[in-house]
Amino acid sequence: MPDVVIVNSGVANLASITSAFRRLGTSVVVTDDPGVVAAARRVVLPGVGAFGAGLAALRARGLDRAIAEAVARGTPLLGVCLGMQMLCEGSEETSAVAGLGVIAGACRRLPDHVRVPHLGWNAVTAVAQAGLVDSGVAAFANSYALQEAPPGWTPAWTTHGVRFVAALEQGRILACQFHPELSGAWGAALLERWLAGATVAPSATAGEGPAPGLLPRVVPCLDVRDGRVVKGVRFQHLRDAGDPAAQGALYESQGADEIVVLDVAASPEGRATQIETVERVRAAIRIPLTVGGGVRSVDDARRLLAAGADKVSVNTAAVQRPALLAELATEFGSQCVVLAIDARRTGGDRWEALAFGGREPGRPDAVAWAREAAGLGAGEILLTSWDRDGTRSGPDVELLRAVAGAVRVPVVASGGIGERAHVLEAFRAGADAVLAASVFHDGDDTVDGIKADLSLHGLRVRR
């Protein structure tokens, strides 16, 4: 019997959670067999995507009854993200669908005055004197959450527009709205305690800890071709910049908040190489991973998510067929869907969106395209200034302000980062995250060096 049985609901990023447990030396089985789940020593219910689709998938396989049996037997249970929400009685996301009812209460949508989805790193504040969850900073990706703690459960809290439950504990059940498997060393320590049934002496006084609120993200980008990291200027004159798995691990050790892998020469023939690269990078890191390049369908996205991506990025295929964004959001949830826009200034304060790696015009108005895409289901905009890409001349702050002001989803700034001041400029212009490549690949600066500078200028960062 394996140490951990992970429920394959059909709506989960299984590679990340499986990799996290295997890194701890734990034997893991992924299954959709209700008999295996009901008899398991420990059960993990992960999940991404829509509440209704997740419950339908569980019930179609009889996994809802198997989870109920495991809970009745006192089996240690871990629910992650959508997995936690499915353990509740219901959700505003699909109000006609009943949850599993293990946790009393229904999840509600986060308020409209903040950017939704809630993507990135936020504080977790524990209230127990000794429990599984310690105060710290964790990786979140959610639009809905439980906003009241049910009686009999010990909560930990976070805030994004409204205070909501970050985690619940009761006996051997742990439910996390955040992703412990993507929360670096802090998350790995939590998984280890859950495996052992151990508690932790709080690192801060109960109810205290890091200040709540999403932290600005610093994101190294790995442009990949034929399994190697490359870098160029305006997508041309590519040069070798190293091994993607090794680079990803290095940047995580420096404090990277996320890694982006973009296959700059993705093609149907190169799909196997792309999948292998994603698998290698996922095995090497414990933080969120976004992957793009050659995503033309729901099946393409599913393959990347199965290989270890947490989000998929689309560009040309969405320009050609915008409905793809809605299809991806329906299948996997908007928090998994990133629209990449390569924007070129056309004069004054106007930009066009390019397609095919910057080689052809795509949409005449990049700002309007960002707004339309967010309405269709894109949960994040990866905004690259084509004019600044690889030049190290600084971000296009006018472009950033225009797009950040037009959408209510997170915006990642890319293009032109050459020094620490440029990163600060981008955040002050409204970016939620800043992506860079050359400055890291060439060894001119480090993630922790940039974060130290941001901190000196008054920005709270994850350290």
pLDDT per position as a tens digit, 200-218: 876 666 656 688 899 999 9
* pLDDT greater than 80 at residue 231: no
pLDDT (mean) for 140-150? 97
As a residue count, the chain comes to 463
217-456: CATH, from 3.40.50.2300, 3.30.460.80, 3.20.20.70, 3.40.47.10: 3.20.20.70
pLDDT digits (tens, 9 = 90+) for 369-401: 999 999 999 999 999 999 998 889 999 999 999
Residue 45: what are its φ and ψ, rounded to 5°? -110, 95
pLDDT of residue 400: 98
Could you tell me the sign of the dihedral formed by the alpha carbons of 295, 300, 302, 303, in that order? Answer: negative
29 φ/ψ angles, rounded to the nearest 5 degrees: -125, 135
Residue among 64, 134, 223, 389 flagged as catalytic: 223
Residue 213 CB neighbours (<10 A): 14
Per-residue model confidence as pLDDT tens digits over 439-453: 998 899 999 999 999
pLDDT for the residue numbered 242: 86
120-137 pLDDT, tens digit each: 999 999 987 779 999 999
For residues 19-38, average pLDDT: 96
Q: For position 97, what pLDDT does the model report?
A: 97
- pTM (two decimals): 0.95
Q: Is the confidence at residue 266, as pLDDT, over 90?
A: no
Does residue 257 or residue 270 have the better pLDDT? 257
Least confident of 145-149, 262-266, 282-286: 262-266
Give every CB contact of residue 42 below 8 A, 6+ residues apart in sequence.
Answer: 3, 4, 5, 75, 76, 77, 78, 195
Q: Determine the pLDDT at residue 129.
A: 73
Residue 12, pLDDT above cutoff 70: no
Comparing CA positions, the residue from 341, 282, 331, 322 lying closest to residue 15 is 282
Q: Which of 134, 243, 257, 342 is catalytic?
A: 342
d(CA 358, CA 37): 48
Q: Which position has the higher pLDDT, 192 or 390?
A: 192
- The question of whether 342 is a catalytic residue gets the answer yes
Which pLDDT score, from 0 to 100, does residue 237 have?
59
Mean pLDDT for the chain?
93
Average pLDDT on 42-47 reads 95
Are 224 and 270 in contact by the 8 Å Cβ rule? The answer is no
pLDDT at position 436 over 90: yes
Q: In what order do the strands lie in the sheet with 4-7?
A: 28-31, 4-7, 43-45, 77-80, 173-176, 163-170, 154-159, 118-126, 136-142
Domain boundaries, the chain: 4-196, 217-456
Q: What percent of the chain has pLDDT over 70?
A: 95
pLDDT bin (cut points 50, 70, 90) of residue 269 is low
pLDDT computed for residue 233 by the predictor: 59
What does the alpha-carbon distance between residue 199 and residue 389 come to, in Å, rounded to a whole number? 48
Confidence label for 438 from pLDDT (cuts 50, 70 and 90): confident
The arrangement of strands across the sheet holding 144-145 comes to 88-91, 103-109, 144-145
- Which two tokens mark 336? 């998994």
- Which CATH number, 3.30.450.40, 3.90.550.10, 3.40.50.880, 3.40.50.300, labels domain 4-196? 3.40.50.880
* Residue 263 annotated among the catalytic residues of the structure: no
Residue 249 scores a pLDDT above 90: yes
